[in-house]
Amino acid sequence: MLTLIIFLASFVALSLWFLFKENKELRGVFGKLFLGSFGLYLGTAVFMPGVVSWSTLALNVGFLFGAGFFLNTFSSSKIIFIPMLILMTLGYYCGVKGIDWFPFANTESTSNSLETSSNIDGLDPDSELLVEVSNGHQLSELQHVINKYDLKLEPAFALKDNASTDLDDYYAVNIPAEQMQNYTAIVADFKASNLIDHIEANEILSLDPVETISENTPNRKKRYTANDPDLGKVWGHDAMEVEALYALLATEKVQPKKKAKIAIIDTGVDYKHEDLNTNFVSISSEHNTDSHGHGTHCAGIAAAVSNNGIGIASFAPTSDFVEVTSVKVFGKYGNTSQRIIINGMLLAADNGADVLSMSLGGPSTAQSQRAYKQAVQYANKKGAIVVVAAGNENIDARKRAPASVDGVITVAALAPSLEKAAFSNDVSGLKMGIAAPGVDIYSTIPNNKYEYFNGTSMATPYVAGLLGLMKSIRPNLTTQQAYKILKQTGLETRNTKATGALIHPANAVKSLLKG
Q: What is the dihedral of CA 486, 489, 494, 497, to 10 degrees?
A: 50
CA angle 399, 402, 408 (to 5 degrees): 115
Question: Is 292 in contact with 330 (CB distance < 8 Å)?
Answer: yes
Count CB neighbours of 188 within 10 A.
Answer: 15
User: CA 511, CA 515: separation in Å to the nearest integer?
Assistant: 6
Question: Is 247 in contact with 225 (CB distance < 8 Å)?
Answer: yes
137: which DSSP letter? -
Question: Is 377 in contact with 384 (CB distance < 8 Å)?
Answer: no
pLDDT of res. 368: 64
Question: Is 229 in contact with 310 (CB distance < 8 Å)?
Answer: yes
Question: Is 414 in contact with 495 (CB distance < 8 Å)?
Answer: no
pLDDT of res. 112: 38
**CA nearest neighbour of 362 among 372, 353, 354, 349:** 372
Calculate the alpha carbon distances from 156 to 119, 126, 127, 334, 341 in Å: 19, 11, 9, 21, 11
pLDDT of res. 239: 97
Calculate the alpha carbon distances from 514 to 156, 354, 487, 511 in Å: 44, 21, 16, 5
Which residue out of 166, 208, 228, 266 is catalytically annotated? 266
CA angle 448, 449, 452 (to 5 degrees): 150
User: CA 384, CA 245: separation in Å to the nearest integer?
Assistant: 23
Which residue out of 287, 294, 297, 504 is catalytically annotated? 294
Do β-strands 322-328 and 260-266 pair in parallel, antiparallel, or remain unpaired? parallel
pLDDT of res. 296: 98
CB burial readout 98-117, b (16+ within 10 A) else e: beeeeeebebeeebbbbebe
- Taking only the tens place, the pLDDT of each residue in 135-174 is 999 999 999 999 999 999 999 999 999 888 999 999 999 9
**CA nearest neighbour of 477 among 454, 449, 509, 506:** 509
Residue 320, SS3 per DSSP: coil
Q: Which residues pair with 132 in a beta bridge?
A: 170, 198
Question: Is 229 in contact with 309 (CB distance < 8 Å)?
Answer: yes
User: CA 114, CA 367: separation in Å to the nearest integer?
Assistant: 8
- Taking only the tens place, the pLDDT of each residue in 250-287 is 999 999 999 999 999 999 999 999 999 999 999 999 99
pLDDT of res. 117: 34
What is the pTM for the complete model shown? 0.78
Residue 442 sits at φ, ψ, to 5 deg, of: -95, 125
Single-letter amino acid code for the residue at 201? A
Question: Is 345 in contact with 265 (CB distance < 8 Å)?
Answer: yes
CA angle 294, 370, 152 (to 5 degrees): 85
Residue 450 sits at φ, ψ, to 5 deg, of: -140, 150
Do β-strands 355-358 and 211-212 pair in parallel, antiparallel, or remain unpaired? unpaired
- Taking only the tens place, the pLDDT of each residue in 102-120 is 333 333 333 334 443 334 5
Single-letter amino acid code for the residue at 318? T
User: CA 237, CA 335: separation in Å to the nearest integer?
Assistant: 32
Active-site annotation holds for 320: no
Active-site annotation holds for 266: yes
pLDDT of res. 30: 76
Active-site annotation holds for 197: no
- The 3-state secondary structure of 276-304 reads CHHHECCCCHHHCCCCCCHHHHHHHHHHC
Count CB neighbours of 281 within 10 A.
Answer: 14
Listed as ranges, residues in the chain with pLDDT below 70 are 1-4, 19, 21, 44-56, 59, 65, 68-78, 81, 85, 91-121, 209-221, 365-368
Count CB neighbours of 499 within 10 A.
Answer: 31
